[in-house]
Amino acid sequence: MELSLAGKVALVTGASRGIGKAIATAFAGAGASVLLSSRKLADLEAAAEEIGGDVDVVTANAGDPDQAAAAVERCMERFGAVDVLVNNAATNPYFGPAIDIDLGRYDKTWDVNVRGPLVWTQLAWRASMQERGGAVINVASIGGLSVEPGIGIYNGTKAALIHLTRTLAAELAPTVRVNAIAPGLVKTDMARALWEPAEDRIAASMPLGRLGEPSDIAAAALFLASDLASWVTGHTLVVDGGALLGPGARRPGGG
């Protein structure tokens, strides 16, 4: 077995930047045909040009079932299959105490972060995976495994996504593997407000001494999509630089 996706077709949501773009880049580099999806065409086209290889783009709001259906249909028309689905797109329109959130932003967060991955997986299953098999990778968060101030609703959606991953893994086995990745704090635009003001301090508190890069998450996704993970399903792979070990886990004087 090798870390190759040659002959496979991957559909990646939220693929125009950050973690999604890094995953699409890794997949294309491993030989996959990749359909990039996000809301803005110009950003998608720029990402596709940078990635190169056998890639195409489609605009879709990940929380809109009709747009998701059109994207999966486009993937089938362009590449003939959906072998790997990466549910990466997410939103976090609210920062503050969970008790104070308005229902509009609450609903949007759940529609994109939980209902969205379910809908995209349903569509990929019915269009291709039910017959051909495949792999689904949900991008969750270590926030779904912990409690943090200010982003409790977002973290609640990620906890639900982790549980949904296990549920779908049980239901779609043995032909479709369903796994999740739980990133720690990664240097993306979406998370900029969390890391930019205190990057050095946060990095110094972490066992591995740095914040995550999108490429760190892409490497995990490539493993889970490949045949090297052929006996892995229902698992959430934590990629967090050791953050969940706690602030006291780094040995004084360590690297």
HEC assignment per residue over the chain: CCCCCCCCEEEEECCCCHHHHHHHHHHHHCCCEEEEEECCHHHHHHHHHHHCCCEEEEECCCCCHHHHHHHHHHHHHHHCCCCEEEECCCCCCCCCCHHHCCHHHHHHHHHHHHHHHHHHHHHHHHHHHHHHCEEEEEECCHHHHCCCCCCHHHHHHHHHHHHHHHHHHHHHCCCEEEEEEEECCECCCCCHHHHHHHHHHHHHHCCCCCCECHHHHHHHHHHHHCHHHCCCCCCEEEECCCHHHCCCCCCCCCC
Predicted confidence at residue 175, as pLDDT, reads 98
What does the pLDDT read at residue 254? 47
pLDDT the model gives residue 75: 98
List, as own/partner pairs, every contact residues 166-175 make where C-beta atoms lie below 8 angstroms and the sequence separation is at least 24, other chains included. Answer: 166/234, 168/118, 168/121, 168/136, 169/233, 169/234, 169/235, 170/234, 172/125, 172/129, 172/136, 173/233, 175/129, 175/130, 175/133, 175/134
Establish if 144 belongs to a structural domain: yes
Instruction: Determine the pLDDT at residue 255.
Output: 44
Is residue 246, in this structure, part of any structural domain at all? no
In the prediction, which pLDDT does 1 show?
60
Domain assignment present for residue 248? The answer is no
Q: Angle of helix 65-79 relative to helix 116-124, nearest 10 degrees?
A: 30
Residue 253 lies in a domain: no
- Residue at 227 is within a domain: yes
pLDDT at 248: 59
Give the global pTM: 0.94
Answer yes or no: is 111 within a domain: yes
Per-residue pLDDT for 2 more than 90? no
**CATH code of the domain containing 58:** 3.40.50.720
Position 53 scores a pLDDT of 95
Model pLDDT for residues 187-204, shown as the tens digit of each residue: 887 766 665 677 788 888
pLDDT tens by residue, 94-120: 999 999 999 999 999 999 999 999 999
* Residue 243 maps to a domain: no
pLDDT digits (tens, 9 = 90+) for 145-181: 999 899 999 999 999 999 999 999 999 999 999 999 9
- Structural domain including 223 reads 9-238
pLDDT single digits (tens) 218-240: 999 999 999 999 999 999 999 99
> Pick the catalytic residue: 114, 154, 185, 206?
154
Question: Structural domain tally of the chain?
Answer: 1
Do residues 37 and 15 touch, judged by C-beta distance below 8 A? Answer: yes
| 251 domain residue, yes or no | no
Question: Residue-wise over 115-131: b if at least 16 C-beta within 10 A, else e?
Answer: bbbbbbbebbbebbbee
Quick: pLDDT tens for 52-98.
999 999 999 999 999 999 999 999 999 999 999 999 999 999 999 99
What is the pLDDT, as a whole number, of residue 158?
A: 98
Give 134's pLDDT tier (boundaries 50, 70, 90).
very high
Q: Is 154 labeled as catalytic in the residue annotation?
A: yes
